[in-house]
């Protein structure tokens, strides 16, 4: 039995869940999220409560039960309060700025690195802090990971791009004789 799957998801005010076949649509004050769920899990909406039940107790349905419950909870949270990730850019000469629908980085390469911003996300760059916010938790995390992969933090001086909660383990470096 899934502990997460058994929990009842309560819907806040101005939030509604609609089902059409396998497609689940969650609408809220900040927007809407659509997700296609496999038919092995049944989504039941009772007024302001949503529950998920497996149709059969196969290995696949038991594995997806808790996963889909987490997805549903994140969808409900996202349409009411946007998810946010912060990246910190450290290093001399490293810069970032948002120009229209793309973010431009100076990361020590011979050329500026340009990354286009998805339309569903909002990105701001102030000094060396890049803030990514959006309704869909998966899109926010995926885009933050894509940006972080451009210049991962190195362990000797800590230069590069890291999450605000990330701790970089530092190495000692060369010893002088």
Give the pLDDT band (50/70/90) at residue 177. Answer: low
* Mean local confidence (pLDDT), 165-169: 91
pLDDT digits (tens, 9 = 90+) for 48-59: 999 999 998 899
| CATH T-level assignment (fold) for domain 3-78 | Outer Surface Protein A; domain 3 (3.90.930)
pLDDT at 158 over 90: no
3-state SS of the chain?
Answer: CCHHHHCCEECCCCCEEEEECCEEEEEECCEEEEEECCCCEEEEEECCEEEEEECCCCHHHHHHHHHHHHHHHHHHHHCCCCEEEEEEEECCCCEEEEECCEEEEECCCCCCEEEECCCCEEEEEECCEEEEEECCHHHHHHHHHHHHCCCCCCCCCCCEEEECCCCCCCCCCCCCC
Q: Can you give the pLDDT at residue 123?
A: 96
97-123 pLDDT, tens per residue?
A: 999 999 999 999 999 999 999 999 999
Q: What is the pLDDT of residues 57-102, one digit of tens each?
A: 899 998 899 999 999 999 999 999 999 999 999 999 899 999 999 9
Give the model's pLDDT for residue 173.
85
Q: What is the mean pLDDT of the segment spanning 13-33?
A: 92
Query: Which residue ranges make up each domain of the chain?
Result: 3-78, 83-163
CATH of region 83-163, choose from 2.60.40.10, 3.30.70.141, 3.90.930.12, 3.40.50.720: 3.90.930.12
**Position 170 pLDDT exceeds 70:** yes
Task: Answer whether 3-78 and 83-163 agree in fold.
Answer: yes
pTM of the predicted structure, to 2 decimals: 0.89
Instruction: Judge whether residue 3 has pLDDT over 90.
Output: no
pLDDT at 147: 96
pLDDT at 175: 81
């Amino acid at each position: 039995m899934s502990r997460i799957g058994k929990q009842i998801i309560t819907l806040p005010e101005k939030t509604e869940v609609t089902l059409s076949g396998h497609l689940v649509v969650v609408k809220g004050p900040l927007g809407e999220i659509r997700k296609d769920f496999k038919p092995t899990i049944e989504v039941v909406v009772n007024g302001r409560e949503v529950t998920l039940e497996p149709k059969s107790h196969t290995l696949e349905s038991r594995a997806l039960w808790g996963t889909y419950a987490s997805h549903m909870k994140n969808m409900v949270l996202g349409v009411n309060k946007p998810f946010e990730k912060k990246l910190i850019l450290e290093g001399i000469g490293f810069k970032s700025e948002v120009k229209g629908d793309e973010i431009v980085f100076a990361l020590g390469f011979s050329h500026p690195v340009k990354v286009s911003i998805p339309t569903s996300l909002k990105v701001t760059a102030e000094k060396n802090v890049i803030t990514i916010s959006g309704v869909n938790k998966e899109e926010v995390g995926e885009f933050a990971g894509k940006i972080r992969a451009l210049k991962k933090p190195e362990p000797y001086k800590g230069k590069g791009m890291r999450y605000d909660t990330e701790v970089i383990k530092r190495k000692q470096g060369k010893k002088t004789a």
